[in-house]
Chains A and B, each alone.
Chain A
Amino acid sequence: MNDVRVPIFVVNKEKTEIRDQGRHARSRKVLHRTQIEWLYDGLERAAPQSIRYIRYSGHLAARFRSRRAGKRSTPAGATPMAPPKKSKKPKRKAKDPSKLGEKSNPHAELKAGDTEWWYTFWHKNGNAAGLSIPSDEDEAFKYFFRVSKKTFEYICSLVRQDLVSRPPSGLINIEGRLLSVEKQVAIAMRRLASGESQVSVGAAFGVGQSTVSQVTWRFIESMEERARHHLRWPDADRMEHTKTKLEAAFGLPNCCGAIDATHIIMTLPAVESSDDWCDQESNYSMFLQGVVDQELRFLDIVTGWPGSMTVSRLLKCSGFFKLCESGKRLNGPLKMSAQNSEIKEFIVGDATYPLLPWLMTPYEGKNLPASMICFNTKQKAARLLAARALSQLKGGWRILHKVMWRPDKHKLPSIILVCCLLHNIIIDTGDELNAEVALSDHHDIGYKEPSSQQVDPQGKTMREALTRHLQSSDSLYQARPEMIT
């Protein structure tokens, strides 16, 4: 690449050219913008000294300029760039503060990546009729994407290596420009968060439906791999912390979390509709089961099973069940109850789950003794963590709540998983889960599954021990839900 001729990049609105300098100017080539950006990238890497002169104009100019400004490692011999013509970038910058009403520095947080998309998006969608979009920029960002800008940036960093566009196969929007990773992530997250149609989301970003489809799936595939560390069963230390918090809040010693399941409803093509997907409410649905901790973080999920199963069967099909039954999970240190009974690690679930040594379900029946009512009250408070988490999940990532139109049943589990990962990322990065977006109703409204009649003798013994423990320590522990986030 040493013999690369010094090119002139002429970046203007109508066309993008690359020319040899001076007397070679006749050998100019008019290239597509994507091609020139690609060429620029290659030259910049291989022979940065060859890029000496860029004549700016038009809307690509800003991007080139900012990239050059960010890479001042140009050799000393390089002649300074030509003074840029006034481009649209300053105009856009100038437009923003006026629109934002003197908000906080709009470029402070997103300076590392592409910010253009956000201001274009906000300008276009910020005043959408019928929506209560916050006027504050950061709040508006969270409204659209459920995460703060900082978290958004983190998510971009996770998937950047997979989503970075590589011409000529890179994704191109309707203006013929490459989609930045930020814009791709934004499109995908908006699709997941709003659950709106691909056409609507595409219109909001100025891209086509197929781009939304493609970008969203790429994002999901990437997140599946790159964000795995946000969903895992806690190690001993972390689990100890969880148990302490849960005991403090609900008085249940050695409680490790709560389990619940929900239906993700969809439509299926009439041709291949299988009754196996048709659940008790005559919806086609897929199950999602999650175990959550005190912060509503998913510790374990299983999804992909048809909604026509019973919850109890779903549990038994899960890897979590197999691990627990084989003693490889929830096998931490025992605790002694007030009556010196052993209390193993357990989770709590509703009556649709079987009563097992590691899964505590409520007492059923009428005219229960006070001790059992006391147990039920605290157990319910604890298990509602899972219900809240699922409400939050379905409310925050509305694609899961809306009836999905003929999804690929082999891809839907990935969508569900990524929504859970995003949910956990919000918690892990310290963003607050916005309670306003959570569903106001129950996450699985309309579904009333009969109670599981399965009672494991050891489970029964342990539930009784817990009941006695709660009864004796009733005066000491009060359910304090306010301690829970």
Chain B
Amino acid sequence: MLCSISTSTPASNSKSDTNWLDRLHSSRGFSVPAHLHLDHFLSPNPCANPNPSTTFPPPLEKEASDSPQEVSTNPRRRKKHLPPPLDDVAPDEKKQLFDLMGGVLAELFVMGGPPVVREFKEKGARKQSNPRVCVPSVSASIDGCRVPLVTSPPSSADNSVAEAKKSRTKLRRKRGTAAGPVDLDLSAYSRTDVTVIDTSCSGWKSEKVIFRKGVMWKVRDKKVWTLSRKKRRLGLVGRLANEKDKEQPHAESKVPAGEELLASLVEGSAPLDKNDAPEKICHQISNSIRQKISRSPRIHSAKDSTFHRNAATNQKNGISGPKASAKGR
């Protein structure tokens, strides 16, 4: 595999035959044994390791032996074990490296993982523009009122799609609550969302929340938070107008996402040439890593599109790939 991170690391320029991962390591100041292959980071199963004779013990061997079936069948769960417990063997540096790569890979393939990943996650604008993590105090601070609280799901629900969905709905509902005086306790009130059309109000249509307890009625304006709801409520005329705007190509808007991806990948390293490096890294990762990891189809397609688009961008810019860049030099 040919060089990819070339512009920022002079040392790497000379080593056109080295692995991109090595270059990444060196750019970050890590010294990694030459035999330590990418698979070390990917596969916790020592049998799958192409270099079983490595002197450096496979970091996840211990854990893999605990749950070998899970590892082989469930990629999501396997990724969860990615941050390896290297307490006994690995030196700090390597642990750091594993953490880093585990984070990067988990980010790339959205596998769930160590806290590092969470940090990256906020940057990726893959689907949800509004982060779903919602601390109960958030709604209070925004709305200024206490609402009938819905307990947030346990953190162990990370792997459960159904539970995650449920929590989203709950959170959304919670976030959708309306403003009110801070001292008002609405927990004892029943709650009804209504859409009101009032020709004396600007815009005519508005969403309200009614809190009711017996003859006590409290009405609050409802804030619409999620984009999808907003879109749905645009109405036919609004949608038609929107369709016209949307006819412009999407490519430009998505490029920054790729850049963010890169930024998370090379965080802390020397600045890279933005026009050059992101695509290369993504492209190479896509070639070398993706084939080895099974992922959920949903994530696959989403990421794929990014990779393919980046590849296409490369070709457009005359940077067709590692070979071309090598030739150029």
List residues of chain A with CB under 8 Å of any chain B CB: 161-162, 218, 221-222, 224-226, 228, 231-233, 274-277, 300-306, 309, 313, 317-320, 322-323, 329, 409-411, 413-414, 416-417
Report Cα–Cα, A225/B210, bound state, in Å. 26
5 pairs, CB–CB < 8 Å, chain A vs chain B: A162-B240, A233-B200, A277-B192, A304-B197, A413-B197
The interface centre, meaning the residue of B196, B210, B235, B240 with most chain A CB atoms within 10 A of its CB, is B196
List residues of chain B with CB under 8 Å of any chain A CB: 190, 192-201, 204-205, 207-208, 210, 212, 217, 219, 235-237, 240
Contact between B195 and A410 (Cβ–Cβ < 8 Å)?
A: yes
Contact between B237 and A226 (Cβ–Cβ < 8 Å)?
A: yes
Known: A274-B192, A276-B192, A309-B217. A302 touches B237 (CB 8 A): no
- Kindly list chain B residues whose C-beta atoms are within 8 Å of the C-beta of A414: 197, 205
Can you name 5 extra interface pairs (CB under 8 A) apart from A228-B204, A304-B198? A224-B235, A276-B190, A302-B196, A304-B194, A320-B198
Known: A274-B192, A276-B212, A306-B192. A319 touches B198 (CB 8 A): yes
- Kindly list chain A residues whose C-beta atoms are within 8 Å of the C-beta of B240: 161-162
Chain A residue nearest to B217 (CB atoms) is: A313
- Kindly list chain A residues whose C-beta atoms are within 8 Å of the C-beta of B236: 162, 218, 221-222, 225
Report Cα–Cα, A275/B204, bound state, in Å. 26
Chain A residue nearest to B197 (CB atoms) is: A413
- Kindly list chain B residues whose C-beta atoms are within 8 Å of the C-beta of A300: 199-200
Contact between A221 and B210 (Cβ–Cβ < 8 Å)?
A: no
Contact between B219 and A317 (Cβ–Cβ < 8 Å)?
A: yes
Contact between B210 and A276 (Cβ–Cβ < 8 Å)?
A: yes
Contact between B199 and A301 (Cβ–Cβ < 8 Å)?
A: yes
Contact between B217 and A275 (Cβ–Cβ < 8 Å)?
A: no
Known: A162-B240, A226-B237. A306 touches B210 (CB 8 A): yes
Contact between A323 and B200 (Cβ–Cβ < 8 Å)?
A: yes
Report Cα–Cα, A318/B240, bound state, in Å. 30
Report Cα–Cα, A274/B190, bound state, in Å. 9
- Kindly list chain A residues whose C-beta atoms are within 8 Å of the C-beta of B204: 224, 228, 417
Contact between A306 and B200 (Cβ–Cβ < 8 Å)?
A: no
Chain A residue nearest to B236 (CB atoms) is: A221
Known: A162-B236, A225-B235, A276-B190. A303 touches B197 (CB 8 A): yes
Report Cα–Cα, A154/B196, bound state, in Å. 28
Report Cα–Cα, A274/B192, bound state, in Å. 8
Report Cα–Cα, A317/B210, bound state, in Å. 11
CB distance from B188 to the nearest CB of A (A): 14
Known: A276-B190, A309-B217. A304 touches B237 (CB 8 A): no
- Kindly list chain A residues whose C-beta atoms are within 8 Å of the C-beta of B200: 233, 300, 302, 318-320, 322-323, 329
Report Cα–Cα, A305/B207, bound state, in Å. 10
